[in-house]
Amino acid sequence: MSAEADAEPLLEVRGLTKIFGALTACDRVDLTIAQGEIHALLGENGAGKSTLVKMLFGSLEPHSGDIRWDGKPVRISSPSVAKKLGIGMVFQHFSLFEALSAAENIALSLADRTPIAAIAEKARSLSKAYGLPLDPNALVGDLSVGERQRIEIIRCLLQTPQLIILDEPTSVLTPQEADKLFETLERLRAEGKSILYISHRLDEVRRLCDRATIMRHGKVVGHCDPRRETPASLARMMVGSDVKAVERPAAPQESGEHLLGICGLSRKPAGPFSVPLRNIWLHVPAGQVVGIAGVAGNGQGEFFEAVSGEARQDAADVIRIRGKAAGLMGITERRMLGAAFVPEERLGHGAAPRMTLSENLLLTRHATDAKAFVGAGGLVKTASIDAATQRIVSEMDVRKSARDPEAASLSGGNLQKFIIGRELDRQPSVLVVNQPTWGVDAGAAARIRQALIELARGGSAVLVISQDLDELFEMSDAIAVMNNGELSKPIPIAEATRERIGLLMGGAEPGHAAPAALAGMEPA
């Protein structure tokens, strides 16, 4: 049974404020979480949600404001203080050592020196009680992402928290795994535990949460019962205006021109925890978006590296871009053929953290846009680069604190908008994107998805790798599923269902042989 709005408060926050230089990240925030409720924290990227929960978990200290725990004022100066109070947190990005077992990872987070065998037994018992199957002795490197998340949750529950903070907990789960997680959270609520739930997936917020607090630009702008709202009305409260629905016009009939072809791609594992790729065949025609679904850790990263040129193939014909054999080419050479790539990791992979936005633009386009950005004698045309940077910022609504800030100073969602915009600005013939809207709010996600669809309808081939099924169904003309390094046959969107895709994500069907259209593919 869910908590009533007037139940005894477990956590009360009044006037909590955090300032970074000229930016007020949290501006006099009020928040009340009752005992035994699941409370949603909603807002755009950069709204202040992460700063707020870091203060609640002791990773940051507020400049002003009060926190009351179980009716008493407290100062949460560190995560260890938060854990002693009874506050636990499961982060969006896991903090596990792949070479250690599940039990050994759990032991590292516990204050006492309990023998590993005893920890393993406690974890096994707790996992069984909450319907979270887990082998404590399994190496983390051998586990799926869903299993790794169970470790994080079990590790949190072993600390007997009264409040659990969950940050985007379903972003790496199959629909079936998400349903199991919801059952666990509902059981925790029934036991009187409270949950602060952060998610951009508004349907699951409506299904699961008793109340919601909405933040915008560092301030709390409203509270609501999400079960009485629609996804559109929740998004409107978050953004401050209506979020335009993504429109996907009918795809053009295939012309037979395969702008991107993957022809029998196989790849040995690059490391002890890498996934081998097994005989992957796929073509992405001009004018279409092809989506690749799958639980994280099933070879998507290795597949992206192979297609982008970060990992070269043994034979040139394995990758074909605009009819050209590109398997032996590096990233820049593939870009020169008209391809563009957006990796999953924003900082350190998609952008150099301590370089400005304009410098990051030059890094990726110095070869493809040499005439526009580099003058005689190799001198950089700073005015041209600055103009292109500001054009991208404007078109993608990138919110920043300075005209040309360092990449690391942007929120994750705003940096993602810039990186996507940087590649779209070239109007590439082929675009490969890994997790295009990971951790991005509803308004920004809609803008990115619409831009990718429009690029495809303009005659480009777009390949989208995503763990968000809603996203893939909204954008794709066909969906293939990657499981354990194998790729299923693409399913036309008119024939795809969430259940069918979810089963494929769980390994219900094997990969497939080379389609006849690709087996004898010739240059266009």
Residue 488's Cα: distance from chain center in Å?
22
Q: Measured between alpha carbons, how far is 451 from 294 in angstroms, rounded to an integer?
A: 23
With a pLDDT cut of 70, the percent of the chain lying above it is 94
Instruction: Please report, for residues 116, 142, 343, the alpha-carbon distance to residue 100 in angstroms, rounded to integers and kept in the order given.
Output: 12, 10, 27
Name the band, by pLDDT with cuts 50, 70 and 90, for residue 410.
confident
The CATH number corresponding to 258-515 among 3.40.630.180, 3.40.50.300, 3.40.225.10, 3.40.50.620 equals 3.40.50.300
Return the structure tokens found at 238.
């978050």
Chain region(s) in the chain for CATH 3.40.50.300: 9-239, 258-515
Q: Measured between alpha carbons, how far is 325 from 322 in angstroms, rounded to an integer?
A: 9
In this prediction, residue 4 carries a pLDDT of: 47
Name the band, by pLDDT with cuts 50, 70 and 90, for residue 245.
confident
Return the structure tokens found at 493.
């969107």
Name the band, by pLDDT with cuts 50, 70 and 90, for residue 360.
very high
Name the band, by pLDDT with cuts 50, 70 and 90, for residue 520.
very low
What is the per-residue pLDDT across 104-131, written as a single tens digit (0 to 9) for each?
999 998 877 889 999 999 999 998 888 8
Q: Is 395 exposed, middle or buried (0-12, 13-18, 19+ CB in 10 A)?
A: middle
What is the per-residue pLDDT across 464-516, written as a single tens digit (0 to 9) for each?
999 888 899 999 999 999 999 999 999 999 999 988 998 898 887 645 544 54
According to CATH, the topology of domain 9-239 is Rossmann fold (3.40.50)
What is the per-residue pLDDT across 192-201, written as a single tens digit (0 to 9) for each?
999 999 988 8
Name the band, by pLDDT with cuts 50, 70 and 90, for residue 50.
confident
